[in-house]
Structures are given as C-alpha cells and as structure tokens.
Amino acid sequence: RKEVEQDPGPFNVPEGATVAFNCTYSNSASQSFFWYRQDCRKEPKLLMSVYSSGNEDGRFTAQLNRASQYISLLIRDSKLSDSATYLCVVDEKLTFGTGTRLTIIP
C-alpha cells in the first residue's frame, strides 16, 4: 500500500457545486497534514494545514479522520478558479499524494 493515496480524478464539477475528495495515509503515527493546490505547469502552493479538530478557510474545509486514516478537503460554491490539482501531504517526511485533478465546468 502506498504511504499516501489519492483518487486521481478527474473530478468534473459544475460551477457553484460542492465537491469533496479524500486522501488516505498508511502511517497511523502521522502528525502533520496539508493540502496544496497546483495549477497546470506551476509549482504547488500551500492551500491549508489540516488540524485534528478540522478547520475552515472561506469556502474550503479540511477534516482529519484518524480512525480511518484519511484527510478530506471540501470545497463549497466552487469557482472556475478552483480548477487545479489538489495534493495532500502527510507527515514530517512530507510525503505527497499524486494529486486529484479538479475541473470546474461553467
């Protein structure tokens, strides 16, 4: 099993919809979790950290489920500008998932 796994997608979602995707991890001792977004042919950029109690930043909500060993990212009222690949990162080793590609359709 890979250390970090993501559904590669693509997720094609109409503008204004809510979309969620998960990232599973194998190391139960993992402590640090992040979501990054990467636009086509650009560098990854930090979107948000994921805290144990869950956290929200505007239209974005990140959750951690330690029992099932996954983190999730929820995007509400999706915008065309949300189209990107979303990468999860787990642990001090900074292990990246392969990313989930999201396309918002007008």
Partner 1 sequence: DAGITQSPRHKVTETGTPVTLRCHQTENHRYMYWYRQDPGHGLRLIHYSYGVKDTDKGEVSDGYSVSRSKTEDFLLTLESATSSQTSVYFCAISESANGPYEQYFGPGTRLTVT
List of residues contacting partner 1 (CB under 8 A): 32, 34, 42-46, 49, 87, 89, 92-99
CB nearer to partner 1: give 40 or 67: 40
Question: Measured from the CB atom, is 42 or 79 closer to partner 1?
Answer: 42
Task: Give dist(CA 52, CA 93) in Å, integer.
Answer: 19
Minimum CB separation of residue 106 from partner 1 in Å reads 27
Residue 43, token pair as written in the block:
């560098």
Please enumerate in sequence order all residues whose Cβ is within 8 A of that of 83, keeping only pairs 6 or more positions apart, or say none: 102, 103, 104
d(CA 105, CA 81): 10
Which residue, 26 or 49, has its beta carbon nearer to partner 1? 49
